Amino acid sequence: MKAEGGSYWVWIGIALLFRVILICFPTNLNLGSRPEVATPVTSLRRLAEGYWLKQASMSPYAGSMYHGSPLLIYILGPLTVKRIEGKPSHILCSLLFVIADFLTALLIRATGYKLKFTKSQFLKRGNLSKLLESSRKFSAEDIASLVYLWNPFTIATCVGSSTSPLENMMIVLSLYGACSRLAPLAAFGWVIATHLSLYPVILIIPVILILGHGPDSPPVRLLGSSFSTSGYKDDKSSTLPIRGFQTFSWRFVFHFLLWALIWSVYVLVLSAIYLKEFGGLNEMFRKTYGFIISVEDLSPNIGILWYFFAEVFVIFREFFLIVFNMNILFMILPLAIRLSHRPCFLAFVYVVISSMLKSYPSIGDSALYLGLLALFIDEVRDIRFSFFLFCGYIGVSLLSPVMHNLWIWRGTGNANFYFATGIAYACLQTVLVTESVSAMLNHDRTIRKELTASK
384-393 confidence digits (pLDDT tens): 888 999 999 9
Residue 64 confidence (pLDDT):
82
Q: Is pLDDT above 70 for 61?
A: yes
Report, as an integer, the average pLDDT of 149-171: 92
Give the percent of the chain with pLDDT over 70.
84
**What Å distances lie between residue 173 and 106, 113, 144, 207, CA to CA?**
10, 14, 15, 11
Question: Over 50: is that where the pLDDT of 213 sits?
Answer: yes
Instruction: Answer whether residue 80 shows pLDDT above 50.
Output: yes
Q: Mean pLDDT, to the nearest integer, of 33-47?
A: 89
Q: How far apart are alpha carbons 302 and 365 in whole angstroms?
A: 11
- The mean pLDDT of the chain is 84
Question: Would you list the DSSP string of 108-159?
Answer: HHHHHHHHHHHHHHHHHHTT-GGGG----SS-HHHHHHHHHHH-HHHHHHHH
6-32 average pLDDT score: 83
Instruction: Give per-residue pLDDT as tens, 92-140.
Output: 788 899 999 999 999 999 999 888 877 666 666 655 555 555 556 678 8
pLDDT score at 135: 53
Q: Find the mean pLDDT for residues 333-349.
A: 92
Query: Residue 146 pLDDT more than 60?
Result: yes
Examine the pLDDT at 231 and tell me if it is beyond 70: no
pLDDT at 81: 76
Ranking 84-98, 267-281, 328-342 by mean pLDDT, the lowest is 84-98
The structural domain count of the chain equals 1
Q: Strands 82-84, 87-88: parallel, antiparallel or unpaired by DSSP?
A: antiparallel
pLDDT tens for each residue of 345-383: 999 999 999 999 999 999 999 999 999 999 998 888 888
Number of alpha carbons in the 13 Å side-chain half-sphere of residue 282: 3
What is the pLDDT, as a whole number, of residue 244? 40
What angle is formed at CA 199 by the lines to CA 144 and CA 165, rounded to 5 degrees? 45
Write the DSSP symbol of residue 406: I
pLDDT digits (tens, 9 = 90+) for 178-192: 999 999 999 999 999
Q: How many CB atoms lie within 10 A of CB 5?
A: 11
Q: How would you class 290 by CB atoms within 10 Å of its CB: exposed for 0-12, middle for 13-18, buried for 19 or more? A: middle
Residue 222, pLDDT above cutoff 60: no
Mean pLDDT across 262-275: 94
Instruction: Look up the domain containing 229 and give its range.
Output: 2-454
The phi-psi region of residue 362 (left if phi > 0; otherwise alpha if psi is between -120 and 50; otherwise beta) is beta
